[in-house]
Amino acid sequence: MQSFELDRSDIQRLRQALEQDDEALRVLLKEYHASEIAILFERLPQESRERIIHILPADVASEVISEMDAEIHPEKILDNLHPEKRSEIVQELDYDDATDIISQLPEHRQNAILEDLTDENARHIRSLLAYPQDTAGGIMNTRVIKINQGLSKKDAIDEIIRQSEEMEEFYTINVVDDDNRLIGIVSLKDIIRSKHNAHINELVNTEFVYVKAETDQEEVARLIAQYNLTSIPVVDDTMYLLGRITFDDVIDVLEQENTEDMLKFSGVSEDEELSGNWKDAVKSRLPWLIINLGTAFLAASVMRYFDSTIARLVVLAGYSTIIAGMGGNAATQSLAVTIRRISLSDLTDMQAYRTVLKEVTVGVINGAANGFIVFLFALVYDHNLMLGIVIFLAMIGNLFIAGITGASIPLLLKRLGIDPAIASSIIITTFTDVFGFLLLLGLASKLLL
């Protein structure tokens, strides 16, 4: 299947169908996959979305709602539906998807929706709502295939068939004891290929990867990627089997985490919705810009301190922006690489040391290369050898600062329990601006005047 691209003609056809009766709209919607309808929703008003969800079969409507971007607020659509239709849709959703959507509503509305569900569905969703959203418990699905370790091959296959009727797909068969404590895993292939009189306790693999309910979702994603898993079981402290997390859940987690990191890295609050209005954007960004303004005053104060030097060598004003700008760019490169390494794994002390050493080395080499280019420029256009030397030394010094701060500051913030993506960029920009001006103007005062 080719990827769906939003086209103006699709929107026009959908809007025309919305102006007709429900049957015409229903016929048109059959041409689209549920995920495509979710994309089309981005261009439709809330009332049109609710009408479409209402006329779709419950199984299709549940897919559309689960595929909707969180910023389109699928929970509002669900909450505004007729209770009977809403219950049909929720019961078609996987428990983890239903929990994600319902959790965005006020508690009294959550209870109203859950009261209309069957006792079993409500119980599963309530149990998931108890976990923080960014943990394994918050993203797991409580629907799992599990068999007792004492079953024979025939009884195990019968049990797997029975349980799979309620699941669209499964990847791993969990083996539990009489108290529902996870013993290990077994593949369907191993069961089928085993001897007729085989028992599950002979086939179970007790060397397996699992996570606790409180494990951070980023750690879950890392484990699934590291071990190339299709799913991973979730247990409590006593190894009681709680649920599973599949690789498609992890894809959503990675997309969410990467978006948050990108926003933080740019000094934008994660609370700002990408499709939000200008008021929310100003509220989110202004505090960081004010902080950045304060650090800019700090850098400007260094230049003011060397007013007399700049007055006598006006050309330094132009070169100072080059030194500071190159330092900022180099620090951002170092910062991006270091934060990426931190996000992939927790660095040991030795790995952290090597990371800083590498970035310092890269900074000095790049500083020398760029400094030599600017040295030649000063020599040719300003006919001043000592000016070129000053710029050369300042460039090396500032890119050294860029390397050491770009690598060490996020590592330090991580050790202190602070998200390194939030404040690192502002801190390192301050360092490279201040030291860039200080190195260039300080050296010029000593060597050129």
Q: How confident is the model over 76-100, as pLDDT tens digits?
A: 999 999 999 999 999 999 888 899 8
Say whether both 114 and 186 belong to one domain: no
Please, is 222 exposed, middle or buried when counting C-beta atoms within 10 Å of its C-beta (0-12, 13-18, 19+)? Answer: middle
Q: What integer is the mean pLDDT of 344-350?
A: 74
Cβ distance 103 to 73 under 8 Å?
no
CATH at 404:
1.10.357.20
Q: Tell me whether strands 182-186 and 211-212 are parallel, antiparallel or unpaired.
A: unpaired
Q: Is the pLDDT of residue 2 over 70?
A: no
Q: Is the pLDDT of residue 48 over 60?
A: yes
Say whether both 339 and 434 belong to one domain: yes
**Phi, psi at residue 410, to the nearest 5°?**
-60, -35
Residue 199 lies in a domain: yes
Residue with tokens 């499964």: 170
Residue 299 lies in a domain: yes
Of 246, 268, 291, which closes a domain? 246
When divided into structural domains, the chain yields a total of 3
Segments forming the whole domain that contains residue 90: 8-130
CATH at 93:
1.25.60.10
Q: Is the pLDDT of residue 227 over 70?
A: yes
What confidence tens digit (pLDDT) does each residue in 190-205 have?
999 999 899 999 999 9
Structure tokens at 268: 């934008």
Give the HSE-up count for residue 307: Cα atoms under 13 Å, Cβ half-sphere: 4
State how far the Cα of 72 lies from the Cα of 74, in Å rounded to an integer: 6
Say whether both 166 and 94 belong to one domain: no
pLDDT for the residue numbered 366: 96
State how far the Cα of 179 lies from the Cα of 239, in Å rounded to an integer: 10
Say whether both 120 and 155 belong to one domain: no
Q: Is the pLDDT of residue 230 over 90?
A: no
Residue 254 lies in a domain: no
pLDDT for the residue numbered 209: 95
Residue 270 lies in a domain: no
Say whether both 323 and 437 belong to one domain: yes
Residue 137 lies in a domain: no
Amino acid identity, position 200: I
Say whether both 287 and 419 belong to one domain: yes
State how far the Cα of 252 lies from the Cα of 276, in Å rounded to an integer: 20
Say whether both 225 and 304 belong to one domain: no
CATH at 217:
3.10.580.10
**Phi, psi at residue 91, to the nearest 5°?**
-75, -15
Given CA atoms 163, 164, 169, 175 in this order, what sign does their dihedral have?
positive
Cβ distance 36 to 5 under 8 Å?
no
pLDDT for the residue numbered 422: 63
Identify which of 245-249, 287-291, 305-309 has the greatest average pLDDT. 305-309
Residue 239 lies in a domain: yes
Residue with tokens 């085993």: 194
State how far the Cα of 289 lies from the Cα of 283, in Å rounded to an integer: 11
Residue 59 lies in a domain: yes
Residue with tokens 């409590």: 236
Amino acid identity, position 229: L
Better-predicted residue by pLDDT, 9 or 2:
9
Identify any residues that bridge with 231 across adjacent strands, giving them in sequence order.
246
Say whether both 125 and 236 belong to one domain: no
What confidence tens digit (pLDDT) does each residue in 368-385 have?
999 999 999 999 999 999
Q: Is the pLDDT of residue 262 over 80?
A: no
Q: Is the pLDDT of residue 33 over 60?
A: yes
Of 201, 228, 246, which closes a domain? 246
Structure tokens at 142: 């409580």
Say whether both 25 and 61 belong to one domain: yes
Say whether both 340 and 415 belong to one domain: yes
In Å, what is the CA distance from 305 to each residue of 156, 298, 316?
Answer: 80, 11, 14
Say whether both 384 and 292 belong to one domain: yes
Say whether both 158 and 221 belong to one domain: yes
Q: Can you give the length of the chain in residues?
A: 449
3-class state of residue 199 by DSSP: strand
Residue 138 lies in a domain: no
